[in-house]
């Protein structure tokens, strides 16, 4: 069973709109499909980031000075 799509008006930068139209033509995909896939990917990354924040919420805080000291000790800076 197909889900119903919701209609929305968005305003794109003219350069992005042009690039999107070209990609749609080259890939034989609709502009809507390309935008939906890009949004799903971006929102998925946000969800993954939030999950990591939740997992690490009980870890002790490290001050900026402590982090700089650790990075120097490890030879990273």
Q: How far apart are CA 7 and CA 9, in angstroms?
A: 7
Do 54 and 48 touch, CB atoms closer than 8 A?
no
Tell me the per-residue pLDDT of 7-46, one tens digit each, with 9 for 90 and over: 999 999 999 999 999 999 999 999 999 999 999 999 999 8
User: Hey, what are 56's tokens?
Assistant: 């690490």
Do 77 and 71 touch, CB atoms closer than 8 A?
yes
pTM, two decimals, is 0.60
Mean pLDDT across 43-63: 90
DSSP 8-state symbol, 57: T
Mean pLDDT across 60-77: 94
Res. 53 pLDDT band, cuts 50 70 90: confident
- Residue among 3, 6, 22 nearest 14 (CA): 22
């Amino acid at each position: 069973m197909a889900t119903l799509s919701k209609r929305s008006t968005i305003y794109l930068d003219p350069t992005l709109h042009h690039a999107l139209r070209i990609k749609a033509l080259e890939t034989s995909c609709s502009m809507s499909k390309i935008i939906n896939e890009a949004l799903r990917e971006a929102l998925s990354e946000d969800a993954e980031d939030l999950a990591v924040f939740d997992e690490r919420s009980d870890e002790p805080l490290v001050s900026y000075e402590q982090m700089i000291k650790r990075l120097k000790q490890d030879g990273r800076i």
